[in-house]
Amino acid sequence: MKCGKGELEILQGDITDQTTDAIVNAANNRLVLGAGVAGAIARKGGPTIQEECNRHGPINVGEAAITKAGNLPCKWVIHAAGMAPGGPVTTNALENCTRASLDICRKHNISSISFPAIGAGIGGLDINVCAETMLKIAKQHLEQFNIPQKVIFVLYDKPSCEIFRNIWETVQ
């Protein structure tokens, strides 16, 4: 779907299979790849991603860091720190780490990025709040900037995908 100066897409799938230039990891601020999306990235991407994370972390909640993608089909993993280890994700932290991830794209000329539903799993954030927050930030970014050119939200299950699609209709 056309959005601002780029495109926005919502699909059901596994973020670790995405071939966009970058995928986003729903990270903790210590950049320790544990469970959920981070665990899937660690398993499929291999140990080099955690090794790079160890050199970057810790970062502040609401910030993001970039690493190479190891064995994943993308080139980069952007680690969006939505929470401290074991802590909840707040709307403010989600806004900030989503914005920080998109800013990294601009800084590194990354033209396409795939996001999971940051905080809606282990982070304890309501999926509706997650969708509304992330879609709003992505829309604002695409209206203002040329990079990235494509933002994809990749939801693992059909109900989450439908929630994102329904909320997108109200955000436009």
Confidence at residue 19, expressed as pLDDT on a 0 to 100 scale = 97
Confidence at residue 141, expressed as pLDDT on a 0 to 100 scale = 97
d(CA 168, CA 110): 23
Confidence at residue 45, expressed as pLDDT on a 0 to 100 scale = 97
Which domains, and CATH codes, for the chain?
A: 2-171 (3.40.220.10)
**pTM for this predicted structure:** 0.96
Confidence at residue 123, expressed as pLDDT on a 0 to 100 scale = 86
Q: What is the mean pLDDT, run by run of 10 residues, along the chain of 172 residues?
A: 94 97 96 91 97 96 98 98 91 98 98 97 92 97 96 97 96 78
Confidence at residue 99, expressed as pLDDT on a 0 to 100 scale = 98
